[in-house]
Amino acid sequence: MTTLQQRTNSRLQPRVESRRRIDVLETINLARSSLLSNKLRSALTMLGVIIGIAAVISMVAIGRGAQSQTEQQLQSLGSNLIFVQNGTANTGSAASLGAGTATTLTWDDAKAIASSCAAVKAVAPSLTARAQVVWGEANTNTTVWGTTPAFVTVRDFLPLTGRFFNQAEVDQAARVAILGQTVVDTLGLTPTSALGKTVRIRGEDFVVVGTLEYKGSDQFRDQDDQVLVPITTMASRIVGVNSLGGISLNSISVSAKSHDQMDSAQFQITNLLRLRHKSLPPRTDDFLIRNQADLVNAATAVTGIFTVLLGATAAISLVVGGIGIMNIMLVSVTERTREIGIRKAIGARPSDILWQFLVEAVVLAMSGGLLGIAIGVGVASLIQPLFGWQTSISIESILIALAVCLTIGVFFGVYPARQAARLDPIAALRSD
């Protein structure tokens, strides 16, 4: 008897599976026919989802592009960088004037870091000031940096044409200069024609021996809007500020030997400067140290929050679109009450009715989502050439958008579908 039942079940199983497939196809066809019979209403219903998905895709692309651009700009400053800055000066009322306002760092500090810290690869001291640079009848106000040849290694800033000044020119306080590309363009020169020209900086003549490669702008400044001169020349002829301990500095840029040794380098620099400046605890340090990794992490966190806020703001329209789908599906249930009654009278189960309306809601949401993704990708692709903003479209955001559309279709379609499935067939047939 058991064997006979198994044979019977094995014969009936394909028929049951075939009927299920037919039911699914029939449900999809009914949903498609219903939506196509009201094309304008279906299109208007999808509009909220289309706008929402397009806004989310484009806003997230802008946010991710900003995040990527910020990381690239910080990485372009150099590799494994540690920044040492002057400390904070206080007024008589104990009010802080901000980081870098005290003059505490000297060139001797930079030399000590280079010679005493085992985890340090190279050190570039910096003494900066705003100055007018003149060539012929053209002039520009830019930042003049006094530094050493180690600047090339530490800041990964190579000459585009010509050369960098050498240690002999630093020792002799030679009047040579290297121009950034923004300065070159402003003065009406080219990277090639600038070589050998004499420019005036605060009344002093400087011979241009090189031009810097293009770096672009970061979130702080235009890296191409600068002029580099030997630090000794900067101190004696342009700034004229020296301390009893030697040439005063605005900052010191340090390159660690490797990424893994950045913490060790920072620890060594901190202890060395505390000893040199006699600022051992409990005294407050008269200098500030930041590393490149901290800057990247902070910038990434800020742009990440910015991206989330943009995406969340744009997602509001998705909720509106989902409410629109629910509203239209409820209207559709009311309009098709008699149709539902007839289907139930000829044998349709409540689950068949539920799936019919649920599939309609999902098709509306997914169709709107696909159109929204196409529009969002198109808008994100046009933003960079039109406005110059970097954008980044990820596959993850597209897949998440599709998942959200499916969720919206199911969530906002369940209630109307259940309302349709619960209709009494006799009451439905009596309705007008």
SS3 of 393-407: the string is CCHHHHHHHHHHHHH
Q: Is residue 161 a contact partner of residue 196, using CB atoms and an 8 Å limit?
A: no
151, amino acid identity: F
Residue 195 lies in a domain: yes
In angstroms, what CA-CA distances link 88 with 41, 84, 96, 172? 65, 13, 7, 33
Last residue of a domain, one of 253, 273, 308: 253
- 247 and 310 share one domain: no
Query: pTM for the whole thing?
Result: 0.60
- 125 and 249 share one domain: yes
Phi first, then psi: give them for residue 423, nearest 5 degrees.
-65, 135
**Size of the chain in residues:** 432
- Kindly give the parts of the chain with pLDDT less than 70: 1-27, 30, 69-79, 88-102, 217-221, 240-245, 293-300, 303, 310-311, 314, 425-432
Q: Give 336's Cβ-side CA count (13 Å radius).
A: 24
Contacts of 21-27 with C-beta under 8 Å, sequence gap 24+, read 23/352, 27/352, 27/355, 27/356, 27/359
Which range of residues forms the domain containing residue 210? 103-107+121-253
Q: Is residue 247 a contact partner of residue 106, using CB atoms and an 8 Å limit?
A: yes
Last residue of a domain, one of 253, 281, 307: 253
pLDDT at position 427, please? 63
Q: In sequence order, what are the beta bridge partners of 349? A: none
Contacts of 343-351 with C-beta under 8 Å, sequence gap 24+, read 344/423, 344/425, 344/428, 345/425, 345/429, 350/421, 350/422, 351/421
- 307 and 383 share one domain: yes
Q: What is the bridge-based pairing of β-strands 138-147 and 226-230?
A: parallel
Euclidean distance between the first and the last CA atom of the chain, given in angstroms as a whole number? 53
Last residue of a domain, one of 253, 276, 291: 253
- 334 and 247 share one domain: no
Residue 3 lies in a domain: no
Residue 40 lies in a domain: yes
- 132 and 235 share one domain: yes
Residue 420 lies in a domain: yes
pLDDT at position 23, please? 61
- 160 and 224 share one domain: yes
- 303 and 249 share one domain: no
Residue 262 lies in a domain: no
Residue 246 lies in a domain: yes
Structure tokens at 45: 């219903």
**Beta-strand runs (E) in 74-220:** 81-86, 88-90, 96-99, 120-135, 138-147, 159-162, 176-179, 198-201, 204-212
- 228 and 142 share one domain: yes
Q: Is residue 5 a contact partner of residue 331, using CB atoms and an 8 Å limit?
A: no
- 387 and 330 share one domain: yes
- 31 and 135 share one domain: no
d(CA 144, CA 190): 19
| Residues whose CB is less than 8 angstroms from the CB of residue 12 and which lie 6 or more positions away in sequence, other chains included | none
- Number of domains the chain is built from: 2
- 416 and 357 share one domain: yes
Structure tokens at 128: 């900066």
Residue 360 lies in a domain: yes
Residue 92 lies in a domain: no
Q: What is the bridge-based pairing of β-strands 204-212 and 246-247?
A: unpaired
- 232 and 334 share one domain: no
